[in-house]
Amino acid sequence: MAPKVWLNGKLVPRDEAKISVFDHGLLYGDGVFEGIRSYGGKIFRLQEHVRRLFDSARGIRLSIPMTPREVADAIEATRRANGLEDAYFRVVVTRGIGTLGLDPGRCREPQVFIICDRIELYPPAICANGLEIITAATMRTPPNAVSPRLKSLNYLNNILAKIEATDAGVLEAVMLNHLGYVSECTGDNLFIVRDGVLSTPPVSAGILKGITRDSVIEIAGRFGIQVREENLTRLDLYIADECFLTGTAAEVVPVVRIDKRLIGSGKPGPMTKRLGEEFHRLARE
């Protein structure tokens, strides 16, 4: 089956899915997106993802030319057209074709496209044995500048931190906010475990409020695990008993070394394993 992309109401072959070089999404990063997964043919937390897409669009005064129901139906139609049970979706809305100038009022109709494919963010061995990460020198965009809760097309800040990780020979980097507190990684939220308590940076630390993050907090609550949303320092990471990352593409990934320092025993911890297993069970239900 030839891969298909949903583009402005039509399913077209991947090689024919094109947008204009004058699109403001390309010229200025003017647009929003969502990453979504399906498991066994069922799309995980679809309504939450669609709502966040529309919230991001409203946050940048971008009008999506579809209803939330129509977007949800288009995602499912794209999944069926590609014949994938376990898939990753990228839903993108751009400001549309405009001119060589910042004025969004000169843009025509917003463009909507949906990509459906497989994804493996980290190799299976990493997911089983744990990830090594670093602290990036690149600071997270201050939340009083552009809110990190807006899932926009401008990811240059994250990409620069990702380059630092690559230069250090690792796959991911922790980003600090303008106050020096831990924010999140380049593409994932972060949790630590200390004395049986699960902690994660709050929204005010400049994080994207992840849907996988919220799912893990929900699971922890069902297990009676105390969860704190609190500011964390690098020292908190270094002395944690366990650490793990969460994200739509990453799911739940253990971290065993940060800035060359072993975290806990240097192996994925019991709470990380328990929450990861329960998340996978929840996703496939």
What residues are annotated to the active site?
151
User: CA-CA distance, 51 to 71, in Å (whole number)?
Assistant: 10
Asked whether 241 and 195 are in contact (CB, 8 A), the reply is yes
State how far the alpha carbon of 10 is from the alpha carbons of 160, 190, 207, 276, in Å. Answer: 35, 38, 34, 37
Asked whether 135 and 258 are in contact (CB, 8 A), the reply is yes
Which of 104, 172, 87 minimizes the C-alpha distance to 134?
172
User: CA-CA distance, 252 to 255, in Å (whole number)?
Assistant: 10
CB burial of 20-55 (b: ≥16 within 10 Å; e: otherwise) equals eeebbbbbbebbbbbbbbbeeeebbbbeebbebbbe
Phi, psi (deg, nearest 5) at residue 57:
-65, -45
